[in-house]
Amino acid sequence: EVQLVQSGAEVKKPGESLKISCKGSGYSFTSYWIGWVRQMPGKGLEWMGIIYPGDSDTRYSPSFQGQVTISADKSISTAYLQWSSLKASDTAMYYCARLRIAARSGHYFDYWGQGTLVTVSS
């Protein structure tokens, strides 16, 4: 069974750093891209970026380039999303998801983690 298990909720102060995780199991972790999606309170889904754990190739949405860092450790089947200096506007639910790519059907997120709630408040 494919599973993506994310780290727990975080409460941080503005200016602090944070790294959240997403552990994959039940499939070949190095063979699929993993993406991160932000959902601000009461809002829609925003794609942040993706990483290919096999070679750490990383692509960012222009909206998030330079704002976050996506990484992966294939030895422990875990992807990460990190911030060096959080802002109140980073308060959101963050989801990781496995990206399925098929030549005749495009690229879609077929399995999702349960989400990590990040709250940034002074």
Long-range contacts of 25-34 (CB under 8 A, 24+ apart): 25/77, 26/1, 26/2, 27/2, 27/98, 29/53, 29/74, 29/77, 30/54, 30/74, 32/98, 32/99, 32/100, 33/98, 33/99, 33/101, 33/107, 34/4, 34/72, 34/79, 34/96, 34/97, 34/98, 34/99
**One residue of 59, 76, 82, 121 binding another protein per CB under 8 A:** 59
**One residue of 18, 21, 35, 120 binding another protein per CB under 8 A:** 35
44 binds another protein (CB under 8 A): yes
CB of 13 or CB of 43, closer to another protein:
43
CB of 80 or CB of 111, closer to another protein:
111
114 binds another protein (CB under 8 A): yes
47 binds another protein (CB under 8 A): yes
Tell me the two tokens of residue 47.
């794609």
CB of 51 or CB of 86, closer to another protein:
51
The CA distance from 77 to 93, in Å, is: 22
**One residue of 34, 50, 68, 70 binding another protein per CB under 8 A:** 50
8 binds another protein (CB under 8 A): no
The residue ranges that bind another protein (CB under 8 A) are: 33, 35, 37, 44-47, 50, 59, 61-62, 95, 97, 100-102, 104-110, 112-115
